[in-house]
Amino acid sequence: MNQPLDALLDEIKELEKLVAKKIQQTKSKLTFELNQGRAVFLPEVRKRHRTMARRAWRMLWESPFLMILTAPVTYSLIIPLSILDLFVSVFQRICFPIYGIPRVVRAEYVVIDRHLLSYLNVIEKLNCVYCGYGNGVLAYAREIAARTEQYWCPIKHARMNKGVHKRGCLYCDFGDADAFLGDCAKLRKRFEDTQSDETPNLKA
């Protein structure tokens, strides 16, 4: 692997950390502390939050009828999402140890904690659980698919495609048979970037 590409991968990794930190930046002073990964609010803050929560019935009353009508369609996606979650988890548990691919830690992608906020009513909490689960599962499955692709088919596409994952920059150029035949075995082991010093010891 050439030096410029290694440097680019390191730069991508640092930019990802920067973006993650930027997203987590708050406009005001934090009102909670993290205790074993769980947000803990002071009693007076929790009390104030509870007084700010909108009544669920009022939220339903004020919601457009079409929004309520489409709710079953929105929530029906829990079925394919749950199936995807189960299948990719079983897949990597069985296959990744055989291939020598580092396992994707599910808990680093599927984060569900917004339902703990007292200023949300029961409907808003349910929505937050659903969105956290859905987006987390898709990100989790995407990383499993990306590592699998790197192992089996590390070849770039002939044309640019939107939403390409970061592992694609490691791949061989489209039509470069010499590079594929010469580098494929090395690419199957290029997972050093998945080991982060800042990654907590979590179990999926």
Q: pLDDT tens for residues 6-56?
A: 677 777 777 777 776 666 655 455 566 566 666 666 666 666 666 666 777
Apex 142 CA angle, 107 and 174, nearest 5: 145
Q: Where are the domains of the chain?
A: 31-194
- pLDDT, tens only, 162-189: 878 878 878 888 888 888 888 888 888 8
- pLDDT, tens only, 87-98: 999 999 999 999
Look at the alpha carbons of 103, 135, 21, 187 in this order and tell me if their dihedral is positive or negative: positive
